[in-house]
Amino acid sequence: MPAFVAVDLGATSGRVMLGDVRGGEITLTEVRRFPTGPRERPGGGLRWDVDEMYGEILAGLRDTADAHPVSIGIDSWAVDYGLIGPDGTLDGDVRCYRDPRTAGMAQRLRESVDDATLYRITGLQYLPFNTIYQLLAEPPDRLVDKTMLLLPDLIGYWLTGEQGAEVTNASTTALLDATTRQWSAELLERTPIPGTLLPPLRLPGTRIGEGPGGTPVVAVASHDTASAVAAVPASGERFGYISCGTWSLVGLELPSPVLTEAAREANFTNEAGIDGTVRFLRNTMGLWLLSESMRVWREQGLDMRLSDVLAQAMAEPAFRSIVDPDSPEFLPPGDMPARIAAACAGSGQPVPQSPPAVARTILESLAVAHAASLRTASRLSGRELEVVHLVGGGALNEPLCQFTADACGLPVLAGPVEASALGNVFVQARAAGVVADAPVAAPLARYEPRGGTAAWESAARRVGLR
């Protein structure tokens, strides 16, 4: 039975998984799990401990050796990178996208490239941490003589010695042309970012090189969201997806980018998917709001499990207070419950007074945002939706799945939970000629919409979500 190793790095935990393929079906086994979360370096900003992550990955790979894997693939969150110097070593830290160092960089870029031009070229939604803004925040001489490797490409380089940029993740940098899928010569000309920084592009399914024990390392859809969407068990075209974990990535799979002014104004992104597909989606802050709240409550001495907080949240009154999950103040780590309280007070709504009340606000607000993004995606693309696939860790959050079905007025099919790892294995197995079709995983659960969507739409209007 051929086996493939998926290294799947998330913003709170990383996993090394073994994917066995039998009769076209992929079964995943977790070999190793380790925490990844960003750390503050005193005076040096928020960064990822990539050395520790790499040690964990190597340990996980050693544990898979007995399965004699056909290949290894790596995916992770987008946009963050390491700089490799002329001597081939990592120069400095890999900074976390939640670091506020990019403040003011959008304005600086506008001096040479206006927003409409940037969108026409890249099709990328404005997010303050897009790689282009992170690079502009670097001292310019730091970029001279360097090669930028996005995180999965950096791990791939350490494993094989080969440098490159996998295209699904490269599309999140705002340096890739969404139409040609090449680095944009126009942007390189008009910004101080040196073209020499960007390594050659590679497509999902190409061999990167030889890894530990001679096992090939294969480029997968190395952006975790691209891998997750490749694993959405949908049939037909009329589906929306929510890749729900730290972030909720909410949108549609399309054959070509939507680069209209309306799409730009709605802040929709056109990220590159496998086989030339486009992920037309909007980022919503996601379960980060809840996990960061839980972290703060625990620090304050709360002794409750997430499942208890969620159960008690269901006993709280409906629609008491709604926030826009994408308000910029929710992006950095910190006292999330206090920020949510301030947002409620600031919009004249009752301030949630307990962890379950805050959790209720978060769950309803996320569902409101999910529905708003799907409605907008459908309007902008002209595609009608019949069903929503919610994949990733959020598929285990029953209240969120139910509220999302209610707010969208559409059935929600939840699962698979490990969608990124599944998509990762799928691309490797296809490259090896072992499978042909996208993985089909039985949904964990189906949530039918209850009642009409009017109350949800009015909640959305309260915070100006469209």
Q: Is 225 in the site for ligand LRH (CB under 6 A)?
A: yes
Q: Which residues contact 429 (CB under 8 A, 6 or more apart)?
A: 2, 4, 19, 21, 26, 70, 435
Question: Smaller CB distance to ligand LRH: residue 171 or 321?
Answer: 171
Distance between CA atoms of residues 420 and 10, nearest Å: 9
| CA atoms of 166 and 465, how far apart (whole Å) | 34
**Binds ligand LRH by CB under 6 A, chosen from 26, 72, 78, 149:** 78
Q: How far is the CB of 227 from ligand LRH (least distance, A)?
A: 10
Q: Does 224 bind ligand LRH (CB under 6 A)?
A: yes
* Residue span binding ligand LRH (CB under 6 A) among the ranges 35-43, 77-85, 157-165, 258-266: 77-85
Cβ contacts of 53 within 8 Å, gap of 6 or more = 9, 14, 34, 36, 155
- Report if residue 81 touches ligand LRH, rule: CB under 6 A: no
Should residue 424 be labelled a site residue for ligand LRH when binding is judged by CB under 6 A? Answer: no
Tell the burial category of 209 from Cβ atoms under 10 Å away from its Cβ (0-12, 13-18, 19+): middle
- We find the least distance from the C-beta atom of residue 465 to ligand LRH, in angstroms, to be 19
Min dist. Cβ of residue 417 to ligand LRH (A): 14
- What beta strand segments (E) does 235-277 contain? 239-244, 248-254, 269-272
Cα–Cα nearest to 29, from 21, 20, 37, 38: 20
| β-pair partners for 239 | 387
Q: Given the residues 153, 224, 324, 406, select the one marked as catalytic.
A: 224
Residues 10-29 within binding reach of ligand LRH (CB under 6 A): 11
Of 130 and 321, which CB lies nearer to ligand LRH in the complex structure?
Answer: 130
Task: Report yes or no: 173 and 153 within 8 Å, Cβ to Cβ.
Answer: no
Pairwise CA distance, residues 435 & 418, whole Å? 19
Q: Which stretch binds ligand LRH (CB under 6 A): 27-35, 218-226, 317-325, 359-367?
A: 218-226
- In the block, residue with structure tokens 């959020």: 394
In the residue annotation, 326 being an active-site residue is answered as: no
Nearer to ligand LRH among residue 223 and residue 375 (C-beta): 223
By CB under 6 A, the residues from 27 to 56 that bind ligand LRH are none
Give CA–CA dist 315/83, Å, rounded: 50
Binding residues for ligand LRH restricted to 93-132, rule: CB under 6 A: 97
Indicate whether 366 belongs to the interface with ligand LRH (CB under 6 A).
no
Q: Are strands 81-84 and 39-41 parallel, antiparallel or unpaired?
A: unpaired
- Please provide the distance, in angstroms rounded to a whole number, between the alpha carbons at the two ends of the chain: 48
Whole-number Cα distances in Å, 453 to 220, 406, 407, 446, 460: 39, 6, 5, 18, 11
Asked whether position 75 contacts ligand LRH by CB under 6 A, the answer is: no
Nearer to ligand LRH, 223 or 430 (CB): 223
Amino acid found at 6? A
Q: Which of 81, 247, 288, 456 binds ligand LRH (CB under 6 A)?
A: 247
Can you tell me the distance from the alpha carbon of 191 to that of 137, in angstroms, rounded to the nearest whole number? Answer: 12
Beta carbon nearer to ligand LRH, 11 or 136: 11
Q: Does residue number 410 form part of the binding site for ligand LRH (CB under 6 A)?
A: no
Q: Name the token pair of 266.
A: 């709605």
Alpha helices in 175-305 (DSSP H): 185-190, 224-230, 261-265, 288-299
Smallest separation, CB 242 to ligand LRH (Å): 12
Nearer to ligand LRH, 78 or 266 (CB): 78
Q: Considering only residues 270 through 309, tell me which ones interact with ligand LRH, judged by CB under 6 A.
A: 283
Query: Contact letters (x/-) for ligand LRH, 198-217, by CB under 6 A?
Result: --------------------
Catalytic residues: 224
Binding region for ligand LRH (CB under 6 A): 11, 77-79, 97, 223-225, 246-247, 249, 283
